[in-house]
Amino acid sequence: MHRKRILVTGGAGFLGSHLCDRLIAAGNEVICLDNFFTGSRDNIRHLLSHDLFDVVRHDVTQPIHLEVDEIYNLACPASPVHYQRDPVQTTKTSVHGAINVLDLARRLHVRVLQASTSEVYGDPEVHPQPESYWGKVNPTGFRSCYDEGKRCAETLFFDYNRQYQLEIKVARIFNTYGPRMQPDDGRVVSNFIVQALSGSPITIYGDGSQTRSFCYVSDLIDGLIRLMNTPEDVTGPINLGNPGEFTMLQLAELVVELTDSRSPIEFRPLPEDDPRQRQPEIERARTALGWAPSVALRDGLVETVSYFRSLLAQR
C-alpha cells in the first residue's frame, strides 16, 4: 500500500497535533508545518523522534515549497485571546495562508482540506446552524479578523475548485475541547477548568444563558479524516461539532462538580459580537461521512480536567 506524505499546517497546535498522531498511527508520513505563534513543541514532543514525522518551522503567509500527497490546512490562531493579539497577522494567516496552501496543492495536483469554523455564522439568526445559512457577521469588529478571514478562505477554496478543478474539502469546526488546549487561550472550557482547579472565581460573560456545543477532540479528528477521504464531489462545507447544546452556566456547574472545586461563579459583561447561540446541524456529516460524535460532554471533561490537573501540577 502506498504510504502518503501528508502536510499538516498548524500541526503543533491543539487540533493539529492530535491530527498528526492519528495520521501517523495509520502509517502515513507527516510533515508538521508551524510558526509556533500559538502552537507548542510540547504538543508534538512525543513525535519528534518518530521516523514518520518531520517538523518544518514556517509561516503559511509565505510560499510553501514541499512535496506532499495531501494537505490539511489548520494554521490560524483560533481563540479570541490569540487572534486579537495581532489581528492583521490573523487575517493574513487565513487569506494569504489559504492562497499559499492552495497554490501548493494546485502545483502538486493534490487534495487539500480547509479547517474553517463555526464563526463564519457569526451571531446567528438561524438555530441550529445548517451549512446553507450564510451567517450574520460584523465585518469591522474585534472578532472580524478571524471571522471574515475564515469566510474569505472558504471563498478562495471554492474559487480554486471551480477555476482550477482543485480537489477541496471544507470543514466548519464548532467548539472543540480536550487535552493539549492551552491554559491561557481564553476558550471557555480551558478557562473554567483552570479557574476551578486553581480556586479562582469562574468568570461567565453575560448572564450564563448563551449556549455552545462542545465536541471532544477525538471525535473532531475522526470527522476531519473521514471528510478528507470522501469522494471528489464531496467538497463541503460540512459542519463538524457536537449538536448537544449547553448554557455557559451548565458548563460551569459541571466543571465545578468534576473538579470538586469551591470556586464561586462571577458574571461579567458580554464581549462585543459574542454569539448568543451556537449549535451545529450535522445531518450532512451523518449522510456524507457516516459521522456523529460519540463522546459525551461529561466523559470528555473528565479527560480534559485530568490533563489540566497534571499540567498545573508540573508548573
The answer as to whether 266 is a domain residue is no
Is residue 189 one of the residues assigned to a domain? no
Q: Among residues 240, 146, 246, which one has the least CA distance to residue 137?
A: 146
Q: 146, 160, 177, 216: which one is catalytic?
A: 146
**Domain containing residue 221:** 5-177+215-241+277-293
Q: What pLDDT was estimated at residue 79?
A: 74
Q: Considering only 84-98, 119-133, 261-275, 277-291, which range has the smallest mean pLDDT?
A: 261-275
What average pLDDT score do residues 151-171 get?
A: 98
**Does residue 247 belong to any structural domain of this protein?**
no
Res. 45 pLDDT band, cuts 50 70 90: very high
Please state the domain count of the chain: 1
Take residue 286 and report the three cell numbers written for it.
Answer: 451523518
To the nearest 10°, the Cα dihedral for 81, 42, 19, 221? -60
Counting DSSP H helices and E strands in the chain, the numbers are 10, 13
- What residues have CB less than 8 Å from 57, skipping those under 6 apart? 34, 35, 36
User: Which amino acid type is present at position 56?
Assistant: V
Q: What's the confidence (pLDDT) of residue 228?
A: 98
Q: How many Å apart are CA 295 and CA 217, to the nearest integer?
A: 9
Instruction: Flag whether 314 is in a domain.
Output: no
- Is position 258 within any domain? no
**Grid coordinates belonging to 177:** 475541547
Structural contact between residues 251 and 196, judged by C-beta atoms closer than 8 angstroms = no
At residue 27, what is the residue type?
G
In a domain, 125, yes or no: yes
Q: Is 168 helix (H, G, I), strand (E, B) or coil?
A: strand
Is pLDDT larger for residue 272 or for residue 278?
Answer: 278
In a domain, 311, yes or no: no
Of all residues in the chain, what percent carry a pLDDT higher than 90? 89
Taking all residues of the chain, what is their mean pLDDT, rounded to a whole number? 95
Residue with cell 479578523: 145
Query: CB-hemisphere CA count at 13 Å for 16?
Result: 33
Let me know: does 100 contact 160? Beta carbons within 8 Å: no
Q: 173-194: per-residue pLDDT in tens?
A: 999 999 999 998 889 999 999 9
What are the two backbone dihedrals, phi and then psi, of residue 7, each rounded to the nearest 5 degrees? Answer: -95, 130
pLDDT of 206 higher than 90: no
Greatest extent of the chain over all pairs of C-alpha atoms, in Å: 58
- pLDDT recorded at residue 80: 80
Active-site residue 146, yes or no?
A: yes
Q: Is 134 inside a domain boundary?
A: yes
pLDDT at 83: 83
pLDDT value at 1 more than 80: no
Predicted confidence at residue 273, as pLDDT, reads 62
Dihedral of alpha carbons 14, 86, 70, 157, sign: positive
Q: What is the pLDDT of residues 138-147, one digit of tens each?
A: 999 999 999 9
**DSSP string across 28-68:** -EEEEEE--SS--HHHHGGGTT-TTEEEEE--TTS------
pLDDT band for position 78 (cuts 50, 70, 90): confident
Tell me, what CATH number does 17's domain have? 3.40.50.720
Could you tell me if 33 and 13 are in contact, meaning their C-beta atoms sit under 8 angstroms apart? no
